[in-house]
């Protein structure tokens, strides 16, 4: 027998729908107020009022203010760690993998209002870290970076990551960060490239630019002279003959 929504009593379906709507409204209100005021200055009462609900709803859906704050970093767009299985899929070639990488990290830019608030929230967290910061570093920075380094090593035939592989991975990630942080200059200089409809084209172009960077690094490695062998110092006769 199916267990789909048609077999759930109407009262339960309404309750579930109302609960999901309340959670979404709380997240939207929290994202706006936390991004504008910061964690300390945004009260749970103000958030609840902005969401059209009560403080008890915050406790029910998120536990406490800290839990709600954490959710504003992940629930609207997900975590960068969620994309790792997508772009690290071993069945993909390098172009496909990088295409998934850029498409995934740029997809939130299609939601312009939320992106502005999310970016402001992340900048606040950078300048005034809270309990969320260590987790952000791990889930949004370290884990995706290490996965990208491993992906590049695999496709470039580099047996072990070195400093230049890390530099390359940071440079590719920098292409994404520029799209997130340079939105105002982009709108001012070339507004036709800044709308939600332009995101897919950006993902495709950045993939091409990234492939060129990879090819450049491979060429540099092939042209680089092999590491110089360390010579063994010769010993004098006085040292060898007592």
pLDDT value at residue 229:
64
**Domain 77-222 belongs to what topology?**
Tetracycline Repressor; domain 2 (1.10.357)
Residue 69 contacts residue 48 (beta carbons within 8 Å) = no
pLDDT value at residue 112:
82
The structure's pTM equals 0.81
Output the 3-class SS for the chain: CCCCHHHCCHHHHHHHHHHHHHHHHHHHHHHHHHHHHCCCCCCHHHHHHHHCCCHHHHHHHHCCHHHHHHHHHHCCCCCHHHHHHHHCCCCCCHHHHHHHHHHHHHHHHHCHHHHHHHHHHHHHHHHCCCCCHHHHHHHHHHHHHHHHHHHHHHHHCCCCCCHHHHHHHHHHHHHHHHHHHCHHHHHHHCHHHCCHHHHHHHHHHHHHHHHHHHHHHHHHHHHCCCCCCCCCCCCCHHHHCC
Within the chain, all domains assigned CATH 1.10.357.10 are found at 77-222
pLDDT value at residue 19:
65
Residue 70 contacts residue 26 (beta carbons within 8 Å) = no
pLDDT value at residue 225:
81
**Domain 16-73 belongs to what topology?**
Arc Repressor Mutant, subunit A (1.10.10)
Within the chain, all domains assigned CATH 1.10.10.60 are found at 16-73
Cα 198 to Cα 93, 132, 178, 193: the distances in Å are 25, 32, 15, 6
Output the 3-class SS for 65-81: HHHHHHHHHHCCCCCHH
Q: From CA 234, how far away is CA 104, in angstroms rounded?
A: 58
Question: For the chain, how big is the Rg over CA atoms in Å?
Answer: 25
| Tens of pLDDT, residue by residue, the chain (242 residues) | 333 333 333 333 333 445 689 999 999 999 999 999 999 999 999 999 999 999 999 999 999 999 999 999 999 888 999 999 999 999 999 999 999 999 999 999 999 888 899 999 999 999 999 999 999 999 999 999 999 999 999 999 999 999 999 999 999 999 999 999 998 899 999 999 998 899 999 999 999 999 999 999 999 999 988 766 666 555 555 444 44
Q: From CA 180, how far away is CA 172, in angstroms rounded?
A: 14
75's tokens:
């629930």
């Amino acid at each position: 027998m199916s267990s789909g929504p048609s077999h759930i009593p109407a009262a339960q379906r309404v309750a579930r729908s109302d609960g999901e709507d309340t959670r979404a409204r709380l997240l939207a209100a929290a994202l706006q107020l936390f991004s504008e005021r910061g964690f300390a200055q945004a009260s749970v009462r103000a958030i609840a009022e902005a969401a059209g609900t009560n403080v008890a709803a915050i406790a029910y859906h998120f536990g406490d203010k800290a839990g709600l704050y954490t959710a504003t970093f992940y629930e609207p767009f997900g975590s960068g760690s969620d994309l790792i299985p997508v772009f690290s899929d071993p069945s993909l070639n390098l172009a496909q993998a990088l295409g998934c990488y850029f498409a995934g990290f740029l997809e939130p830019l299609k939601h312009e209002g939320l992106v502005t608030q999310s970016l402001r929230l992340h900048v606040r967290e950078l300048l005034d870290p809270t309990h969320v910061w260590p987790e952000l570093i791990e889930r949004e920075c370290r884990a995706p970076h290490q996965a990208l380094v491993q992906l590049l090593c695999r496709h470039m035939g580099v047996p072990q990551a070195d400093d230049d592989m890390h530099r390359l991975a940071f440079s590719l990630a920098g292409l994404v960060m520029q799209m997130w942080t340079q939105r105002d200059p982009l709108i001012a200089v070339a507004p036709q490239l800044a709308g939600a409809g332009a995101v897919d084209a950006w993902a495709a172009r950045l993939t091409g630019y990234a492939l060129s960077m990879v090819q450049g690094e491979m060429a540099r490695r092939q042209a680089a002279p092999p590491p110089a062998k360390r010579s063994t110092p010769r010993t004098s006769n006085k040292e060898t003959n007592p």
